[in-house]
Structure 1
Amino acid sequence: MTFIGMDHGTTGISFCIMSDDEEILDVFKIDREDSKSGKVSAIEELSKRCDFSSVKLMAITYAMGDGFNRILPIDKVEDRGILSIAGAGKVTGGGTSVFSELESSNIPTIMIPGLHKNSTSLNELFNAAYSHQASPEKVSISYNALKETGWKNFIVADISSNSVDILIEDSKIKGAIDACLGAMGIVHGPIDLEMIRDIDEGRKTANECFSHAGAIKIAGIDGKVANMKDQLLENYVNGDEKAKLAIDTLIMTVAMEIAGLDVVCENDIEGIVLTGSVGSATEPFNFEDEINKYFKGKYELRAISKESGAIGAAQIARDVFNGEKEILGIEVDLS
């Protein structure tokens, strides 16, 4: 038996193929532009790597996931599980192409919801404060973190194109801080006063501001989303002062966000899980060492795979197939 997990990420769509005993058989990523153009087919790539007759269940994430609040079979989710694609960062259409392929396949598939104001599993204070807290892959990332650490009370820091930090308490997601609200990522970040003025005066849309509010804003980098991280790190290695300031600022904002989530946790935090292409980085800087300068050894820090979104989704597929009725406080409904 095999299980598949899909992470609908910002720069690409990642897949994990896993055996029944949780052995990772393969992890791969499809570039969004390649998917949109038809250059690469998700189904073809999967068929090269596994026999579909052996796949018992696939778990996928898509966009904001704000149109539903339970883990459901794909045919029970309306409108691909989203209220709107607007305001969700740069849209390429690559993820839509992959979703269409998977939806028309014969692979049994479930969808993972995002965390939003209609999520019954979350602390009501978070739902009252924020209309949206995290997209669905943050659920699968958190599940992989739970499996990797065995902790019950911890914070997940997912740092890549955007930064989202998630609070898990008593093995349930209590709440999270979305990318447009708190810490910077490489590309996306919080909308501040200057940006609000740009929006009000018609110079930029809110989405344009959000999509250029991360570390790239400080470093003065623009272009294709998939290339921005590499450009920033190249500039950093070459001693560019703006790139160094951008990375240092990103780390500072993440530290503030983690500390804020710790404050509202009723239990003692067992540790911080770091993931994402930046959060798990050891070169050209070690993210764990850099952020620990703020924490001064207060927390145990654990870095997990930057592909934790796809891995966690495969773990969810496996556990749901084997009868799990709840994932991190989110109800599973296969009826």
Structure 2
Amino acid sequence: MVYLGMDHGTTGISFGIISDEGIPIEVFKIDREDSKNGLVKAIDEIEKRINLSDIKLLAMTYAMGDGINTILPLNKVKNRGILSIEGAGKVTGGGTSVYSEIEESNIPTILIPGLHKNSTSLNPLFNASYSHQASSEKISIAYAALLETNWKNMIVGDISSNSVNILIEDGRIKGAIDAALGSIGIVHGPIDLEMIRNIDEGKITANEAFSNAGAVKIAKINTKVAHMKNKLLKNYENNDEKAKLAVDSMIMTIAMEIHGLIGISDNPIEGIVLTGSIGSLEKPFNFKNKINKYLKNKYPIAILSSESGAYGAAQIAKSVYNGKKEILGIPVDYTT
């Protein structure tokens, strides 16, 4: 028997499989475009690896997750747990196709919410300040970080297409800073004054601005989302000045965000956890070493693989199946 986790990421949909004992078995990724176009079926890919009847529980994430604030079984979820798909970055429809497949299957499944203004588990100051703080896969990443480090007070940084940093105190998520608000990622970033003017003048939409406000804006990279990271890293490796400026600027903004969360925490921070395709990167540059330029070795730093979202979701499935009624302060409404 196994548990399954699904990470609804920007560049693809990842599935993590763990054993009854919580040991990772395998992770695999489905391309969004292939899913949307029917070239790959999520259920087929799952069945290549395990029998569907062996899945005790699947925990999945989907988009912003701002329509729910509790971990729920799919039959209690309306509108896929979101308020709207608009204004949420690049939209391909691949994640929607996978959601429909899971919904139509007989796999027992729960949906993980995002962090937003209606989340009852968070510091109300964050909820009052920001309508949205983090999409649902950040919950599974944070849970993986908690299990891996056993730190109760930490910052979890997921650095990839987006950059989202999460503050955890006493084993509960206190708040987070979304990609649209603070630091830049590879693809997404905050909308600044120049972009606001372009939006008001009708040159671009707000979503287009958000989806091109990351390091790619500085590096002048314009290609498919799935190829942007590799293009940036290749340019960096080739000593392209724009790519180097983009990477260094991105790291500076992430450090600012981490320091900001440390500054408002009530408890001493035990350590920093870095993950994501950039946060776990060692070549062509070591992200941990670069961020330590700003953190000045004051905190232990743990690195999780970029697969932590999928495996973390699977660990949530395991914990919920075994009766846990709260994950990082987020309530659970599920009965086996």
TM-score (norm 2): 0.99
Measured against aligned partners, the alpha-carbon deviations of 1:76-124 in whole angstroms (never above 9, x if no partner) come to: 0000000000100010011011111011000000000000000000000
CA distance in 1: counterparts of 2:168 and 2:267, whole angstroms: 10
Q: SS at 2:164's partner residue?
A: strand
8 Å CA contact retained: 2:137, 2:309 = yes
Following TM superposition, the consecutive aligned residue runs of length 4 or more in structure 1 with deviations greater than 6 angstroms are none
**Alignment match, 1:82:** 82
CA distance in 1: counterparts of 2:74 and 2:305, whole angstroms: 27
CA distance in 2: counterparts of 1:39 and 1:304, whole angstroms: 31
Q: Which amino acid aligns with 2:177?
A: I
**Alignment match, 2:326:** 326
Measured against aligned partners, the alpha-carbon deviations of 1:43-77 in whole angstroms (never above 9, x if no partner) come to: 00000101111111000000000001000001100
CA distance in 1: counterparts of 2:305 and 2:103, whole angstroms: 27
Q: Which runs of 5+ in 1 are unaligned?
A: none
Deviation of 1:334 after TM superposition, in Å, equals: 1.6
Q: Which amino acid aligns with 2:329?
A: G
8 Å CA contact retained: 2:114, 2:134 = yes
CA distance in 2: counterparts of 1:263 and 1:23, whole angstroms: 36
**Alignment match, 2:3:** 3
**Alignment match, 2:18:** 18
**Alignment match, 1:279:** 279
Q: SS at 2:165's partner residue?
A: strand
CA distance in 2: counterparts of 1:255 and 1:300, whole angstroms: 15
Q: Which runs of 5+ in 2 are unaligned?
A: none
CA distance in 2: counterparts of 1:138 and 1:119, whole angstroms: 14
Measured against aligned partners, the alpha-carbon deviations of 1:195-214 in whole angstroms (never above 9, x if no partner) come to: 00001111110000000000
* CA RMSD, 1 decimal: 0.6
**Alignment match, 2:32:** 32
Q: SS at 1:250's partner residue?
A: helix
**How many residue pairs were aligned?**
335
1:107 aligns with 2:89: no
CA distance in 1: counterparts of 2:315 and 2:90, whole angstroms: 29
Larger mean CA deviation between 51-60 and 273-282 belongs to 51-60
Where does 1:296-311 land on structure 2 (aligned, <5 Å)?
Answer: 296-311=296-311
**Alignment match, 2:157:** 157
**Alignment match, 1:179:** 179
1:128 aligns with 2:104: no
**Alignment match, 2:270:** 270
Q: Which amino acid aligns with 1:240?
A: D
Measured against aligned partners, the alpha-carbon deviations of 1:258-302 in whole angstroms (never above 9, x if no partner) come to: 000001110000000000000000010000000001111111111
CA distance in 2: counterparts of 1:199 and 1:311, whole angstroms: 38
**Alignment match, 1:224:** 224
CA distance in 2: counterparts of 1:283 and 1:238, whole angstroms: 13
Q: SS at 1:3's partner residue?
A: strand
8 Å CA contact retained: 2:179, 2:189 = yes
**Alignment match, 1:249:** 249
CA distance in 1: counterparts of 2:334 and 2:150, whole angstroms: 26
CA distance in 2: counterparts of 1:223 and 1:239, whole angstroms: 20
CA distance in 1: counterparts of 2:43 and 2:174, whole angstroms: 35
CA distance in 2: counterparts of 1:111 and 1:309, whole angstroms: 14
Deviation of 1:29 after TM superposition, in Å, equals: 0.4
Measured against aligned partners, the alpha-carbon deviations of 1:146-202 in whole angstroms (never above 9, x if no partner) come to: 000000000000000010000000000000000000000000001000000001111
Measured against aligned partners, the alpha-carbon deviations of 1:230-285 in whole angstroms (never above 9, x if no partner) come to: 00001001110000000000000000000000011100000000000000000100
**Alignment match, 2:96:** 96
Q: Which amino acid aligns with 2:163?
A: S
8 Å CA contact retained: 2:73, 2:111 = yes
Deviation of 1:305 after TM superposition, in Å, equals: 1.1
Deviation of 1:25 after TM superposition, in Å, equals: 1.0
TM-score (norm 1): 0.99
**Alignment match, 1:68:** 68
Quote the sequence identity (%). 70
Q: Which amino acid aligns with 1:48?
A: K
CA distance in 1: counterparts of 2:217 and 2:53, whole angstroms: 47
Q: SS at 1:272's partner residue?
A: strand
8 Å CA contact retained: 2:320, 2:334 = no
CA distance in 2: counterparts of 1:120 and 1:281, whole angstroms: 34
Q: SS at 2:48's partner residue?
A: helix
